[in-house]
Structure 1
Amino acid sequence: MSSKLPRARRLAAVLLLLVLAPAAQPKFAAPLQPQGLQAPSRAGKAASGSPEQMIVAALDAIAAGHMADARATVDALLAREPDYRLAHLLSADLYAMRSAPLRAIGGAASGPADLLAGLRHEALARLKASRNPPPADALPANLLVLSPKQKNVVMVEADTSRVYLFRNDQGVPHRITDFYTTIGKLGVDKFREGDQRTPLGVYFVTGEMPRAQLDAMLGKNAELYGVGAWPISYPNELDRQQGRTGHGIWLHGVPYDTYARSPWSSNGCVALGNEDMQTLSSNLQIGVTPVVIVRKISWLPRNAWQQQRQAALAMIEQGRPSPGGLSVFAGDVAAEQRVATFDDAQAPGGVRRQYWQRSDNDWRVIWDGPAKAG
């Protein structure tokens, strides 16, 4: 790619290179031939930051035609994270570009087609997250009322392969950080055992399984979960009512010899890199922390969020028999469902849950009973 091309066009070309399957490349060959990707003539400058910031910086450098900087950044990243497969893929490409142009990211690598496709999708997911962060002052419509006991909330956004961590700031969700993540091989909306999908809905962390415990339980198979696993409450009460089956949906790490997995490669769990999983796990409260899994987070301006929060409180007061700690969350907003959890001395375990469904502009309770967790 000539460095004289406008930056937006160069970046668009790199995005196309990421998503084109080999069979589709001839159709786009003419406009995507990177004419200026020869051996670097100067020493490059490595980008700094987190591994994700560095891989995005390397892709940016390729888009800009700054091959020396891309090479230096990838080398520094591999010295830091020698098991980062996507960085190895870019490294092979950058060496190959010294002698000939490539027509696809990963064009210099050999290996199973599904593995290479997964790495391209990982690169695309990380680039998109960098290019399209949530609005600075927006709040998620999915998190309307936080109980005082819930110090943090976890949200999984499947469409962008991100996990968001929010702090409970006096009832307002304050975004702390976010991580790249992996979900089920066949996407979301789990319905039955073994369908390799990640569930959608409102769940809670129900336990912690350190690596030593997994080793004792699973033997060599424990390697899949890296630093450990944190089960969540799938199937929840509504899932059971709807006939959804399956079990063992966890937040967990990845094998120690793998920095990250491709975006859609789990059997339904939510998998994070080990360092990210350790950071996330330090903010989890067993039996308390919500994990809200959606296709896409609905971000609202603060005033609109406050209005929806007040409407949710008014709605819940219709069906709450006693005061107490209260949380109100929504899964995919388009489904127009809300999940309310509150203290109730009359309920087994002292916690009660209600699932509300909107129909013809009215909200009604479709499930009411003791809560499994939360």
Structure 2
Amino acid sequence: MKKAAAALLFIAPCLVLAFSLARAETRAHANGKRPSPAPATAPHEARGGEAEARLIDIYKLIGQSKPREALRRAEGLVKDHPNFQLAQLVYGDLLASFSRPVRTPGDVPDTVGKPGAAMLAELRQESQLRLRALRERPAPGMVPSQFLALSPRNKHAIAIDASRSRLYLFENTSAGLKLVADYYISVGKSGIEKSVEGDLRTPVGVYFITSNLDPKSLRDFYGSGALPINYPNQLDIKRGKTGGGIWLHGTPPAQFSRAPLSTDGCVVLANPDLERIIRTVEVRSTPVVIAHNLKWMAPQSLAADSKSFENVLQGWHHAKSSGDMAKLTAWYAPDFLSYGKTLAEWTPLLQSEIKQLGGRDIQLKDVSYLRWTDSTDTMVVTFGELIKGAKTGRTKRQYWVRQGSQWKIFFEGTI
């Protein structure tokens, strides 16, 4: 009994998580549902999220006063993932708990712990963030507010909540966005809101995956591969932000995961998690939202805003189809800039496109709206533009800004 009591002092948040998860399972049973068992995994196999799921099971066992079973599971976890430092820490604490009370993760004498104090602090923070993200999971069916409307071409979408060190992967189904996985991530050493090159911050905003880099072309430091995003985007450029080379990438062989704040600005995942994402998402069409805090909303709550902006885009569409240059240019902001061209320099291109129409209508296909709101309200709009009767067209992206009660285009370009 004394040994069990000592083990129960280990990581108080585990108890909170275990009880909350137990309540969720009780509700599921009451509704006639049984929790789905996790698929069996061979020791050498690395599924996305598998190691973290096993770690959480260990926390739950501790909370359920089952320290010996927790120890057995922890031993198996570190055997399968010897580079998982947080799992090693939990395993060590469980071993220690059978001989003395363990009151905090990495509870070692000061004389022993001082040389590794910084690493212990990082591992404790990682543990807290993993537990927090799992305690504060979004309600079923909720989606990030930035995903106003996605087109069928956006087969998947990614949202990152920096405050929880969490990446959420969605599948865009016929019934709407479905959360299929979420993973622990690391961001910049100096946090988020990147502004200038070398500031060691991760950018915030709406981005897209631009390529998939072959891991054979990369140093081991980047792990299983890398997915670059289009930082700086057009809003960043408008605001004078600098820098580049922001990737979603993996970890070096000696590390399963990195500390929450440990990158030069990239978003870093454990290699099995990154591999799942690389296998899943498509280049150029997958949006990546990075926010300090994600605001989760019911899809029906976003429908009114989506419809409202749809009417705005249709206004621009009708002006262009009509061939009326005065009406068309009224939709563009005075400070419009596209690849160095001002509105005055862009107008001849618009005139040329209208001339190509020859009186025919424009059809907009596969339209998506991604909203970003901070000090201003911005809409990132992507669509296929097809002249009626033509077999091929252009894929365009526009950035709109709300100015008072009106929306204006400050960037437009062909992808």
Q: Where on the TM-score scale, by shorter chain, does this alignment land: which range?
A: 0.7 to 0.9
2:378 aligns to what? 337
Call closer, same or farther: CA 1:332–1:159 in 2, change over 3 Å.
farther
Q: Using a 3 Å threshold, how does the CA distance of structure 1 residues 358 and 188 change in structure 2: closer, same or farther?
A: same
What residue in structure 2 maps to residue 91 of structure 1? 91
Instruction: For 2:268 and 2:14, locate their aligned partners in 1 and report how far apart those are by CA, in whole Å.
Output: 30
Secondary structure, counterpart of 1:134 in structure 2: coil
1:357 is aligned to 401
Larger Rg: 2
Query: In the alignment, which residue of structure 2 is the partner of 1:231?
Result: 228
1:305 alignment counterpart: 302
Q: Deviations over 1:225-279 (max 9, x none)?
A: 0011111100111111111001110011111221111221111111111111111
Alignment match of 1:243 (pick from 237, 240, 243): 240
Q: Measure the CA separation in 2 of the matches of 1:55 and 1:335.
A: 41
Q: Which one of the candidate residues 140, 144, 148 is aligned to 2:144?
A: 140
Quote the residue 2:177 is aligned against.
Answer: 173
1:335 and 1:64 mapped to 2: Cα distance?
48
The Cα of 1:106 is off from its aligned counterpart by 1.2
Give per-residue Cα distances to partners, 1:86-111, cap 9 Å, x unaligned. Answer: 01111221222222223321123744
Report the TM-score, using the length of structure 2 for normalisation: 0.72
Cα separation, partners in 2 of 1:283 and 1:12, compared to 1, 3 Å: closer
* In structure 2, C-alpha distance between the alignment counterparts of 1:298 and 1:202, rounded to whole Å: 14
DSSP-derived class of the 1:319 partner? helix
Query: Quick check: 2:160–2:167 contact (8 Å CA) kept in 1?
Result: yes
CA contact (8 A) 2:210 2:228 kept: yes
Q: Conserved in 2, the CA contact under 8 Å of 1:298 and 1:333?
A: no
Greater mean deviation of Cα atoms: 362-371 or 97-106? 362-371
**CA deviation string 1:304-363 (max 9, x = no partner):** 1323322232233333444233111123578533211223469xx933333233455x24
SS in 1 for 2:288: strand
* 1:179 alignment partner, SS class: strand
Letter in 2 for 1:69: E
Q: Which residue of 2 aligns with 1:60?
A: 60
**d(CA) in 1 for partners of 2:171 and 2:151?**
12
Could you tell me which of 258, 273, 276 is aligned with 2:255? Answer: 258
Cα pair distance change 1:104/1:335, threshold 3 Å: farther
User: How many Å separate the matches in 1 of 2:260 and 2:88?
Assistant: 17
Structure 1 gaps, min length 5 = 16-47, 215-221
**Distance between the aligned counterparts of 1:211 and 1:146, measured in 2?**
30
- 2:335 alignment counterpart: none
Give the share of equivalent positions with the same residue, in percent.
32
2:87 is paired with a residue whose SS is: helix
Relative distance call for 1:96 and 1:209 in structure 2 (3 A) is: same
Q: What is the CA deviation profile of residues 10-60 of structure 1, one whole-angstrom value per residue up to 9, with x for unaligned ones?
A: 845878xxxxxxxxxxxxxxxxxxxxxxxxxxxxxxxx8821122112223
Q: Indicate the residue corresponding to 2:369 in structure 1.
A: 328
Deviation at 1:85, TM superposition (A): 0.3
Structure 2 equivalent of residue 292 of structure 1 = 289
Question: Aligned partners of 2:59, 2:248: CA distance in 1, in Å?
Answer: 29
Shift of 1:150: 1.7
2:47 maps to what in 1?
A: none
The corresponding residue for 1:210 is 214
Superposed CA RMSD in Å reads 2.9
